[in-house]
Amino acid sequence: MGVKRAMQIAIDTAAKSSEPVYTCGPLIHNPQAVAYLQEHGVDSVSDWQTVDKGTIIIRAHGMPDGSIDSIRAKKLGVVDATCPHVVTSQRQIRKYSEQGYFIYIIGDPRHPEILSLQSFASGNHRLIADYAEAEKEQPPARIMIIAQTTYNAAEFNKIAQLLKSRAREAIICDSICLATSERQEEIKRLAADADAVVIVGGKSSANTRRLAEIARALCPRTFHVETEAELDPSLFVGVDRLVVSAGASTPDFITSKVIDFLKTL
């Protein structure tokens, strides 16, 4: 939902605007989607401060707290396409941080969503990438635990329960996007009985890479591709049962092209 919403907001904004329209970084982690947006008048810039006029679209991952005010102060237009799930996480972090809880944010420290989320923790907080890091923690008495919306659901539950067992009071926020967790559960169910699995989505998309990792652990013959052009028909010789899934950030038109190609085999 967040991806479709952000894409539509960007395209609609460019169609109505007489000035340049930019996203601060790629709107979503999918190069084909970024190219599609460029065709519709939406360019990506790595730093909005280099822009002198036009409109900045806040991408689905969100931006650090205060960034929107800074953009407006530069007399640039702002359209906020932050995924509603991310906005909920931002508000939860701010709420519990202001109440004095120590905030644990679980996810990829380099991911733009994480960079946004941590800025909403007014008090003490810590980023944790995985269970191994969580095992080293000795949490304070009152903690709140929340994850990147595209984090592995099973891994988050393990980390959350570990931290909870070591704290006097723990609030666990269920922040993982349903679209992400549903895909992960379905791949666990289907990949074990598959001869091959194809995962469609950007190579830089965290949730798509995790989906491929889950599939590969159950079915070694797993292929992570961005487009149908990467698929070699010889890889599917002898395959009877083929499973196809896509990252939460993969636009439908790209997945459909992959499926259409596989049907020809």
Question: Could you tell me if 198 and 225 are in contact, meaning their C-beta atoms sit under 8 angstroms apart?
Answer: yes
- Catalytic-role residue among 98, 113, 133, 135: 113
135 in catalytic set:
no
The phi and psi torsions of 248 (rounded to 5 degrees) equal: -65, -20
Euclidean distance between CA atoms 255 and 146, whole angstroms: 30
Sign (positive or negative) of CA dihedral 37, 41, 47, 49 = negative
Question: Could you tell me if 259 and 40 are in contact, meaning their C-beta atoms sit under 8 angstroms apart?
Answer: no
Choose among 63, 66, 29: nearest CA to 47: 63
- In DSSP terms, 169 is beta-bridged to 142
- In DSSP terms, 102 is beta-bridged to 143
Question: Could you tell me if 59 and 83 are in contact, meaning their C-beta atoms sit under 8 angstroms apart?
Answer: no
Euclidean distance between CA atoms 197 and 195, whole angstroms: 7
The DSSP bridge pattern shows strands 21-24 and 55-58 to be parallel
Euclidean distance between CA atoms 86 and 93, whole angstroms: 11
Euclidean distance between CA atoms 251 and 24, whole angstroms: 19
Query: Catalytic residue positions?
Result: 113
